Chain A
Amino acid sequence: MTIFTEKLFLKSERATELIKITDRVQQVVGKSRVKNGIINVFTLHVTAGLTINEDDPKLEEDIARFLLKAVPEDDSYAHHHFFRKDGRMAVNAYSHIRASLLGPSLTIPLQDGQAVLGSRQHIYLVELDGPQTRGFVIQVMGE
């Protein structure tokens, strides 16, 4: 079995946005030369998540808006205190919680050198505390 791992980066440009990474995942799959197995995509952050959904910009807006509404910024969060680990106030509990709703990883089947995705399915990294530079790992396992 081959295990191929690559770390990638992207730059978000808004506080909250869905960034399509389907093509980048497929490029790594191509580099791996693995034909059949599974693909794991993993974000290296606690205020960004991953999801699969349809690549309609309006739907991207809807998902972002839902997350903003589901976990409001203006609430009472215990996390919002002077955070010695960072040396600054922690002010983004809502971003952490939104990220927890989405989760940090995705697993996608790999068949004949292609990610097995439905015709409407695209892979997104979801920025929840941007803009920032974000890292994510793609691991391809199989033969």
Chain B
Amino acid sequence: MRIDVHVHPLLVKELTDKRPKLLEDARELFDLRTVPQPLSTMLNEMNVCEIDRATLLALECPKLNDSKMPSNDEVASLVRQNGKRFVGFASVDPDSGKALTELKRTKDQLGLKGLKLNPALQEFDPRSPAALEVYDEAERLGMPILVHTGITFSNRFSMLHNTPSIYDDIARKHPKLNICLAHMGWPWLWEAVIVAIRNPNVYLDTAGTYVGTPVEHVRQVTSTLSARVIENVLGERLMFGSDFPRIEMNKMFDAITELPIRRDTLTGILGENALSFLGE
């Protein structure tokens, strides 16, 4: 089983044709200006590298002119069309006043399996009382969280709440809540690794490329952490993520498969660890 845990379905043509504001928001707020492609392109990229399932992430930002990139309902609609290939993650703003009811709705009515948070774009403090309530509810509902950590390219948004160490206390206090620190917290790689070492419920994903091609980026990560650390420390906690469409799945996949690590570790990164993260 191969799983890409980090896919943003916001430049899916079927969605942008139906709701042009999604395209505007993707360009202005998500800072991504590539051309929308039909859903079949995403599926073809998955097929090229034999990825069985992709986790589709919603991103609802009420504070940004109620931007939805995309909405919980849009993610649910894509999952309904391709239930065997997609897993849906909801998104709520902890400060919205309706985060808990919306989170429950996404699980009970939409069938979404986890929660995506991005404190930079959603402009919330991940240590606020409202955010803590969301973690409580996600833990109660059995919904793993994938949270953005590391660089946010657009300087329109603060990176104040992007550091991985924020989630150490949150993970400690929610031992049944699986938390993925996206992008391995790049460039704060060791900080993310330390949080994962201390907390068995913390996972990292490989999503994104920041210093060149995926191959160059993965080499930089490997030279920083060493192959031994990836094998022996992150072997059961690192998950394959592409960050599609900021990078093509097949290019990220090719880079990960070139990692100079043991085959069993690679198998875990490409899918088994994600099954554990998803609670399957």
Q: Do A and B truly interact?
A: yes
Q: Report A's interface with B, CB cutoff 8 A.
A: 11-15, 73-74, 80, 82, 85-89, 91, 130-133
Q: Report B's interface with A, CB cutoff 8 A.
A: 27, 30-34, 37-38, 40-41, 44-45, 47-48, 153-154, 209-210, 212-216, 245-247, 250-251
Residues of B within 8 A of A74 (CB): 215
Establish whether residues B215 and A73, one from each chain, have CB atoms under 8 Å apart when the complex forms: yes
Residues of B within 8 A of A86 (CB): 32-34
Residues of B within 8 A of A131 (CB): 41, 44-45, 47-48, 250
Establish whether residues A11 and B212, one from each chain, have CB atoms under 8 Å apart when the complex forms: no
Interface of A is mostly: loop
Residues of A within 8 A of B250 (CB): 15, 131
A96 CA to B29 CA, complexed, in Å: 28
On whether A80 and B213 interact (CB within 8 A), knowing A13-B48, A88-B246, the answer reads yes
Establish whether residues A11 and B153, one from each chain, have CB atoms under 8 Å apart when the complex forms: no
Residues of B within 8 A of A13 (CB): 44, 47-48
Least Cβ distance of B184 to chain A in Å? 16
Q: List 8 A-B contacts (CB under 8 A).
A: A82-B210, A87-B32, A88-B247, A89-B209, A89-B212, A89-B213, A91-B209, A131-B45
Residues of B within 8 A of A85 (CB): 33
Least Cβ distance of B273 to chain A in Å? 25
Residues of B within 8 A of A12 (CB): 44
A14 CA to B48 CA, complexed, in Å: 6
Least Cβ distance of B247 to chain A in Å? 7
Residues of A within 8 A of B245 (CB): 88
On whether A132 and B153 interact (CB within 8 A), knowing A86-B34, A91-B214, A91-B251, the answer reads no
